[in-house]
Chain A
Amino acid sequence: MTQTAQERAHVSAPASGITLSRLMPWIIAILFLLIMPILFGSNSAITIMNQMMITIVFALAYNMLLGQGGMLSFGHAVYMGVGGFMCMHIIRMVEKYGIPLPLPVLPLFGGLFGLGLAMIIGSFSTRKAGTVFAMISLGIGELIAACSVIIVVFFGGEEGISGDRTYGLPFFGIEFLQQKEVYYLLAFWTVLSTILMYLFSRTPVGRMANAVRDNPERAEFLGYSARWVRYFSFCASGFFAGIAGGMFAINYEILTGEQLSLIQSGAILLITFLGGVGLFFGPIIGAIVFTLLQTVLSLQTEIWQLYVGALFVAAVMFFPGGLAGVLMMHVPAIRLGKLHLLIVPYIRTLVPAVLCIIGVAVILEILFHVRHSAPGDNEMTLFWITFDSHNPVAWAIGAVLALGGFWLARMSAPDLRDAWHRANTLDGGAA
């Protein structure tokens, strides 16, 4: 019997060891990171990408709690923020006393301070999961955010603290004067942190984090203290959040109390959820999409947060797996080689749906303009068209787009559903 079990172990157990196909996504991602600044060399593009990488590390760290450990935190910005503040202070000290500390290792210190804080807070907050944990995280988040105004020496009060990353010793001749140099430094830390967080999820404590998330009581009867498993996940998450803080300090050279605030903690929850908590790479997608929305959309409209909020609500209601979950839904169809069946129905449903969304956005934008622009300023520009916001025709166009798009999308939805069904069933199969 042992013999057969071993034979089967080779057949159906998940293959262990490192294979090229497993390394492929990582290699592609690293190459991608390397060539991005060459493709998009403008300073603004690099600024956006730097912001993305910081958010990716933070979101992945956050998902160690939310997705993998089942702990909903409302105050995780604190660990990133404290890591960042500490790094800022280190930068200033290096500047003041001429300590020979190269800038590239700075995020490690951010991580260590994030870890230290997480070790203290986690010692009592991880006793229970669920509401108790969420409430404690909220309380601690508020507490430390309030400290930023009170302890001015450390947090710098309202204006925060700032430093100069170029004052340290040059690192192999690199002074980090240029955005591009910062980009590659952040890319290095992003890749390193992502690999380490991925490996963490494969370790015994990472696996047990999933078990404790699913069923803490059963985990206790397997010899593991649910509380200690949560504690270790929490500390690891605090460490990587601190690294993100260090990256932030290097990139922006300033930290303010805003970095500790509930707004930041809420944003990271939103980003992680939008990307998908169930899959390791979900938060990466969330971070990229959110940063794009934040930077691109906020240039175009003042009510961009409304759209992001609507997207978040839609994700929670219709796509609980997030964007990553939506992508993974298509894996069976790809395996069956039937993805092409979905292309036409997708176009026929999604194009009207996009029109509908544009229509709604037009109405919202006009409404916003009418209510908030100075009296007499009736002129507004939307989608490169300038028109009178008090003109009923503009309203009518918006309404037609919204209603017409909605109607067309609804008409073709059944076709999409059929196509979806066909794409996900075997030929000639009964199911």
Chain B
Amino acid sequence: MTVPALQLDGLRKSFGKTEIIRGIDLSISAGERHAVIGPNGAGKSTLFNLITGRFPQTSGTIRLHGHDLKGLAPFEINRMGLSRSFQITNIFPKMSVFENVRCSLLWSQGYKYSFWNMVSRSRELTEGAMEILDQINLTSRAELPAGVLSYAEQRALEIGITIAGGADVIMLDEPTAGMSHSETDYIVELIRKVTEDKTLVMVEHDMGVVFGLADRISVLVYGEIIATGRPEDVRGDPKVQEAYLGAALEAEH
């Protein structure tokens, strides 16, 4: 049996006395598109922050390709092949769009902390960055400061930065939050395109996005996963309907 891309065992997290994540077991195999859904305050973002090393877990283990991530800093986890985006747009606003993408290529192309290379002299960096810009349709914006892009463009750039390093596990935190319908369609297509052959873990509110994109879905309610499975199974699960989907679907109609 192959090692799962991401495996969580008995993962728990407390802030003071409040337990936010209350024992999560989850296994995501390589190449799978996995969505985590759940009502507000279910702990989805906390779960993301635990996996990516932003917060330390209280107990339990997180394994990336079989390696325990306990005690590792975000940059170390990133170097092992896990990359994430943020719920709140998190780019480098004063740098140009091109520069944003180029910076996210530096480590994966082996530049580390070198101060004897000129970045503008590397063809691989320039072409790699332009290729990413092409994928996220921002080629025409390359020279602008990232901070002046429209919201949807910034989100696209965020996804570009996330995938640029060539990580094979991509985690997206609400990639379509706050977007119009057409913008959402655009981003969903983009995600589909750039995460081909990669493992995708995403938190999402928009049901249309989740059911269209994900191979499997986990439903997180009050820090516990109450169901995991293929979209149609999860949709039919009475527990899920009671806890979450019913309310959400009603609200949509």
Contact = CB atoms under 8 A, between A and B. Distances in A.
Interface of A: 1-2, 4-6, 8-9, 12-14, 16-17, 199-200, 202-208, 210-211, 213-215, 217-226, 228-229, 232, 236
Contact of B103 (A13, A203, A211, A220): A211
Contacts of B142: 12-13
A329 to B, nearest CB: 15
Contact of A206 (B84, B86, B108, B115): B115
A232 B115 contact: yes
Given A4-B134, A13-B98, 4 more contacts: A5-B133, A16-B121, A217-B54, A222-B161
B130 A203 contact: no
Contacts of A217: 54, 74, 90
A207 B102 contact: yes
B230 interface: no
Contacts of A224: 75, 106-107, 113
B126 A204 contact: no
Given A9-B130, A13-B129, A222 B98 contact: no
Interface string B130-165: 110110000110110000000000000000011001
B117 A203 contact: yes
B15 interface: no
A204 B112 CA distance: 7
A9 B123 CA distance: 9
A220 B92 contact: no
Given A13-B130, A220-B73, A214 B106 contact: no
A178 to B, nearest CB: 37
A232 B115 CA distance: 9
Given A211-B92, A218-B161, A225-B73, A6 B116 contact: no
Nearest to A4: B134
Interface string B87-115: 00011111100110011101110011111
Contacts of B206: none
Interface residues of B, number: 51
24 contacts: A5-B134, A13-B129, A13-B142, A16-B121, A16-B122, A203-B117, A203-B118, A203-B119, A206-B115, A207-B102, A210-B95, A211-B92, A211-B95, A215-B90, A218-B91, A220-B75, A221-B75, A221-B83, A222-B78, A222-B161, A222-B165, A223-B79, A224-B106, A225-B75
A218 B74 CA distance: 10
A35 to B, nearest CB: 30
A195 to B, nearest CB: 12
B114 A204 contact: yes
B2 interface: no
Contacts of B91: 215, 218
Contacts of A232: 113, 115
Contact of A8 (B113, B118, B134, B165): B134
Nearest to B94: A214
B143 A12 contact: yes
B176 interface: no
Contact of A221 (B78, B108, B126): B78
Interface in B61-87: 73-75, 78-79, 83-84, 86
Contacts of B113: 204-205, 208, 224, 228-229, 232
Contact of A222 (B106, B119, B139): B106
Contacts of B79: 223
A228 B99 CA distance: 20
Given A204-B112, A204-B114, A210 B94 contact: yes
Nearest to A17: B121
Nearest to B158: A218
A203 B98 contact: no
Nearest to A210: B95
Contacts of A204: 106, 111-115, 117, 119
A210 B92 contact: yes
A9 B126 contact: yes
Nearest to B80: A223
A166 B94 CA distance: 48
A98 B116 CA distance: 36
Contacts of A200: 115
Contacts of A9: 126-127, 130-131
A245 to B, nearest CB: 21
Contacts of A219: 75, 103
Given A204-B119, A205-B115, A223 B107 contact: yes
A223 B75 contact: yes
B72 to A, nearest CB: 11
B116 A223 contact: no
Contacts of B120: 14, 16-17, 202
Contacts of A202: 118-120
B7 interface: no
A1 B134 contact: yes
Nearest to B141: A12
Ranked nearest first, the 5 interchain pairs of A and B with the lowest CB-CB distance are A223-B107, A9-B130, A204-B111, A214-B92, A5-B131
Nearest to B100: A211
A207 B103 contact: yes
A219 to B, nearest CB: 8
Contacts of B103: 207-208, 210-211, 219, 222
A2 B83 contact: no
B99 A210 contact: yes
A341 to B, nearest CB: 26
B52 interface: yes
Contacts of B73: 220, 225
B165 A223 contact: yes
A217 B73 CA distance: 11
| Residue from A4, A213, A224 with most neighbouring chain B CB atoms (10 Å) | A224
A374 to B, nearest CB: 54
A205 B92 CA distance: 15
A3 to B, nearest CB: 10
A13 B126 contact: yes
Nearest to B126: A13
Contacts of A4: 134
Interface in B208-223: none
A97 to B, nearest CB: 35
B223 to A, nearest CB: 24
